[in-house]
Amino acid sequence: MKTIYDLKSLEWKLYGFTPYRWGWGPSMETGAPAFSEILPVKAEVPGSVQMALLREGLIPDWNSGLNSKESEWVENRHWVYEAVIPDEYFREGCSCRLSCLGLDGFGWLLINGKEIGRFNNAFVPHHFDLVDGLKKKGNRLQIVFGCPPRWLGQFGYTSQMTEWKPRFNYTWDWIPRLVQIGIWDDIMLEVSDGNRIHDERCWTDGDSLSVIARGGRMRVSLKDGSRVIRSEEFVDRIAWHGLQVEQWWPNGHGTQKLYTVTCELVDGCDARTWRVGFKSVEWRPCEGAPENADPWLCAVNGRPIFLQGINWTPIKPNFADVTENDYRKRLIAYRDMGCNVLRVWGGAVLEKELFYEMCDELGFMVWQEFPLSSSGIDNWPPEGKSAIDEMAVIATSYIVRRQHHVSLLLWCGGNELQGSLDGSKTGVGKPVDNSHPLLNRLGCIVSELDPGRRFLPTSSSGPRFCGNEEDFGKGLHWDVHGPWEVKPKEYWENDDALFRSELGVPGASSVEIIAEFAGGFPCMPATLDNPLWRRTAWWIQWDEFLKEMKREPSSLEEFVSWSQKQQADELSLAVRTCKQRFPQCGGVIIWMGHDCFPCTANTSIMDFHGAPKPAAIAVGEVFREK
C-alpha cells in the first residue's frame, strides 16, 4: 500500500547563508558550528525565498518604485529550506520517495545532513530515494538552493541559453529583474510497501482513450460521476475506441463535459486518477490560402472555430506564490471576455496542474510552448548535443504530465525562434523550422508521445515572422507576429495573414495603479526622464501624444485616458477585421493578457490586479460577437 504525504503542512524554516557556508563543518580556527547569515524565517511551501523575506520585512515590496533593485542581493546567497518530517510518516521496510514537482534553481537535497541528491532544472520534477539517509526518528529534511545563473534575460544570445530556469525573471519589457528562488510546486513524500505504478500516461483523441502504465497488472475504469462507462484489466497499455461519450467544446461553442479515469494495480498497492474530456481537432487550410500554406483553420469536433484569446504569461514574477484565487480570477475574466485559446508563452514555465484543470473546466484550448525564447541579438536555438538532450527531457516531462488535459491544443517549440531571411543564424525575419536539430528532436518527441496533437517549431511559424504591408498579397503571411503599435485602418483591411498568434498595442495602467506603486517618484511626466516610467520603458507613448495633441498632457488622468482609449480602439479594430475574414483567417491571439508587474504602461489588457483595462472590454465585445 502506498501513502502520500503532502509536505506543505510541515513547519518549514528558511535560512540564508554565505555561499557554501551551510556545508562547512565547525570552524578550524574556533570550532564554532556553521551558522546562517540570515536568521531563520518561516517559509511557505510551495513558496519563494523572496516572499518569505518580504513577509519578514527583510526586503521591500519589489513592485513599488525601484525597490526591485534592492532585492537583487538575494541571488547572491545560498538558501536552505528545512523541516522535520514526522516519525509516523515512516514505516519500517517500506520505500520512501520524495517528489518535488518544482524546484526553481539548482542545489542539493540533504536528509539528516547527508546529501541524497542534486537538482539543476526548474522545468522538470525531481525524485529522491530517502531510505539510505533515514534515522529511526527526528529526520531533518533540507533543500539547499545555490546562486542562480547570472543572466538569462530578454537580451543576449538564445543559442547560448542552456541553463534551464525561467528567463522572464531576469527582466523583460514588462518586468524588472526578480530572479525567483524556491520551491515553486508541490512536494510530497511517498511511502510504499508494495508495487508502485510508474511511467504512467493518459490521453484522449476524439472518442478514444489510451492509458500506459507499468508496475504490474492493472485495472482501468472510465467513469461519469459514479457511473462506470467501461472497465478492464491490462498490462502496460490499453486503448479504447468508439466510446459513448459527450464531446468537450471550447468556450462559447458548447459545454465542457469531463470524465474520470482511474488506473489501479489489481493488488491495491497503488492508483492514479486523471480527469479527461473528449474532443477531436482537425487543422484545415484557410479559405483562399496559398496551395502550400500550413493549415490554420481549426475544426473542433468537426466544426470550424475562430481561435480568439490571449498570450498567457506568469501572474507573478514569484510564481511559486500564485494561489488558486489568482488563477481563477484571471481565467474567469478571460472566459467572460469570450476567449477560447490561451498561448502559454515560451519564456516562462509550465504552469501548475491547477491551471490546466481550470482550463478544462472553463473551455480554454491551450497552446503550450516549450521553454525557449528569442533574445534580440541572437534568436537561434542551441544546437549542441547536451542542450538538445536536456531539452528533450524537458519536453518529454511536459507531455507526460499534461497530455491528458482536454484543454491542450498543440505543442510549440518556443517563442520567436528565428534567423535572417538570407538564411543566416543571426537577425530576424525567418522563423526556424523542423530542419533545426533541436526543433526536429522536439517534433519527433511530440509525434511519438502525443501523435494526436500538432507540433509547431516556433511562434510565429512563418514563413515570415511579421505581417508587413509591402508583402500583402504575396502569400508569405501564414502565422505571424505583430504589429505592436497603432496601424492605419488600411493595414487591417489589406491584411492577408492566415493566423496572428501575437499582436498588441500599448496602453497605460490605471491612474490608481500608477500612483499606488510609484514608490515616492512623481507620476509625471510619462517619459524616459522619469525613473518610474523608465523601469519598463518600451511602451512609453509620450511622443505619440505630443504628435497627436500638439501639446503635453495636462494631467496623468488625461494621458492615461488617451492611452487606454487608443489601445481599446486599435485592438478592437484589429480583432474585428481578422474575425470578419474568417475562414480566410483562422484566429488572433493578443499580446498580452495580464500584467505580472505594475507597469506604468504595457501591451497587457488586464492590469496588475487582474481587472480589465478598457481594451479588454472592447475586445470582449468583438470576441462575443457571433
Q: How confident is the model at residue 171 (pLDDT cuts 50, 70, 90)?
A: very high
Residues ≥6 apart with Cβ < 8 Å to 120: 106, 107, 164
**Per-residue pLDDT averaged across 494-501, rounded?**
98
Q: Residue 29: what pLDDT?
A: 43
Averaged over 14-26, what is the pLDDT? 88
| Closest CA relative to residue 509, chosen from 616, 620, 618, 604 | 604
Instruction: Look at residue 17 and give its three-state secondary structure.
Output: strand
Question: Which residue type is seen at 59?
Answer: I
The Cα–Cα gap between 321 and 181 comes to 11
Q: How confident is the model at residue 32 (pLDDT cuts 50, 70, 90)?
A: very low
C-alpha cell recorded at residue 179: 530572479
Rounded to whole angstroms, the Cα distance separating 565 from 316 reads: 26
* CATH class belonging to 198-276: mainly beta
Distant-in-sequence, close-in-space partners of 472: CB < 8 Å, separation ≥ 6: 494, 495, 496
Q: Are 345 and 313 in contact (CB under 8 A)?
A: yes
Of 455, 448, 459, the residue nearest 203 (C-alpha): 448
Q: How much of the chain, in percent, has pLDDT values that exceed 90?
A: 93
Q: pLDDT (tens digit, 9 = 90+) per residue, 329-360?
A: 999 999 999 999 999 999 999 999 999 999 99
Closest CA relative to residue 385, chosen from 441, 466, 454: 441
Q: What is the pLDDT of residues 512-549, one digit of tens each?
A: 999 999 999 999 999 999 999 999 989 999 999 999 99
What pLDDT is recorded for position 27?
46
Give the pLDDT of residue 355.
Answer: 98
Instruction: Kindly tell me if the per-residue pLDDT of 172 is higher than 90.
Output: yes
Domain ranges of the chain: 2-192, 198-276, 314-321+467-626, 340-459
Span 169-193, mean pLDDT? Answer: 96
H helical segments located in 506-555: 511-516, 531-534, 542-549
The per-residue pLDDT for 33 is 54
Indicate the pTM of the whole model: 0.96
Encode pLDDT of 221-258 as tens digits: 999 999 999 999 999 999 999 999 999 999 999 999 99
Task: Inform me whether the pLDDT recorded for 28 exceeds 70.
Answer: no
Same fold for the domain at 198-276 and the one at 340-459? no
Mean pLDDT, rounded, of the chain: 96
> What pLDDT score does 423 carry?
85
- 3-state DSSP call for residue 117? strand
pLDDT, mean of residues 141-152: 97
Q: Can you give the pLDDT at residue 35?
A: 80
* Residue 34 predicted with pLDDT over 80: no
Does domain 314-321+467-626 correspond to CATH entry 3.40.30.10? no
**Domain 2-192 belongs to what architecture?**
Sandwich (2.60)
Mean pLDDT confidence for 82-100: 93
pLDDT for 284-295, tens place per residue?
999 999 999 999
C-alpha cell read off for 257: 463535459
What whole-number distance in Å separates Cα of residue 358 and Cα of residue 334? 12
**What would the pLDDT profile of 357-376 be if each residue is shown by its tens digit?**
999 999 999 999 999 999 99
User: Could you read off the pLDDT of 270-323 as tens digits, one per residue?
Assistant: 999 999 999 999 999 999 999 999 999 999 999 999 999 999 999 999 999 999
* Superfamily classification of domain 340-459: Glycosidases (3.20.20.80)
Range with the lowest mean pLDDT among 19-28, 181-190, 486-495, 570-579? 19-28
